[in-house]
Amino acid sequence: MPKKLPIVPFTELRYCDDMKPVAPNTSADTREWIIQRCINAFKNQYQDWPGYCERLLTREEMLIALKECDQQWPDYEFRGHKAVDAHRPDMESQPPTADEIAGMLWWNSMTEVERSRALEAAGWKSGGIWTPSAADAWAHYKKNQGENTRTQPPSAHPEEKLSWVRGGDAAGISLQGCARFPYRRIVEVFGTPERGEYGDPMAFDWTVTFADGTVACIYDFKVSAVYQVGLLSLQEIMHDSFKDWHVGGKSARALELVIRALS
């Protein structure tokens, strides 16, 4: 019977201590933490989260803030980082590589327990001074499986020709991941989006149904002035620098097909 791995508490995995040994004069009251939203864990890209980054937090305050953010914005993923080590996105970065797509699909297909085990296998230890990332877990998984050269996600069908129609039953979908492509590319592939009305969480959205019946929704989420005055304008979202599109579906297959269609 295989050895049962301990379940790592997810809250312990979401703060990243400095990778250097802790200085002797560092204490629990040291203010050095901020909260960031995860944009792309595989490229180590995070966004400072308004209201939780202007003032440095103690470690205890940071853990409390993480819970607050999870409750208020359940569709986003947050991390606590030391301000000196905070990773911010290069908004002009290229679309993800095939290997990064494979890794994201692998990560998004797992439950929180499975993710905890993957991180533990990659070297996570409670109280350790280094916290492996999702990319580290993916690299360990490939090495362990002898698949260092694989670039296609496990569920992909390289020879399959994609086709789709606009529209579909979006009832019951949930966030599957993000597609890092500019607005113009999504329009090139899927056409003109639906437009949200004032107060809607989405300014633009596309719903498509692929040939195998997979329904996918592509949308911005609570980042535009359509949702709240003072946020990004429609012109800013349509600019090539904005690449933070959510992909919703009933399984990771929706994210896989959307990214393949846009790549």
Whole-model pTM above 0.75?
Answer: no
**What is the enclosing helix (H) or strand (E) of 144?**
helix 134-145
Contacts 24+ apart (CB under 8 A), 18-23: 18/82, 18/84, 18/85, 18/129, 19/85, 19/129, 19/130, 20/129, 21/129, 22/129
pLDDT value of residue 38: 80
Lowest mean pLDDT among 47-56, 186-195, 234-243: 47-56
- Convert 164-203 to b/e letters by CB count within 10 Å (16 or more is b): beeebeeeebebbbbbbbbbebbeebbeebeebeeeebbb
Q: What is the mean pLDDT of residues 103-119?
A: 76
- Cα–Cα distance, 112 to 60 (Å, whole number): 23
Distance (Å) of CA 128 to CA 22, 68, 148, 219? 10, 25, 27, 38
In this predicted structure, the answer to whether residue 33 has a pLDDT above a threshold of 90 is no
User: How do residues 126-154 score in pLDDT, each as one tens digit?
Assistant: 655 556 677 778 887 777 765 433 333 44
Q: Mean pLDDT over residues 216-242, rounded?
A: 90
**In Å, what is the CA distance from 174 to each residue of 161, 165, 219?**
25, 20, 12
DSSP 57: B
The pLDDT tens digits of the residues spanning 235-251 come to: 999 998 888 899 999 98
- Residue 73 and residue 76: Cα distance in Å, rounded? 6
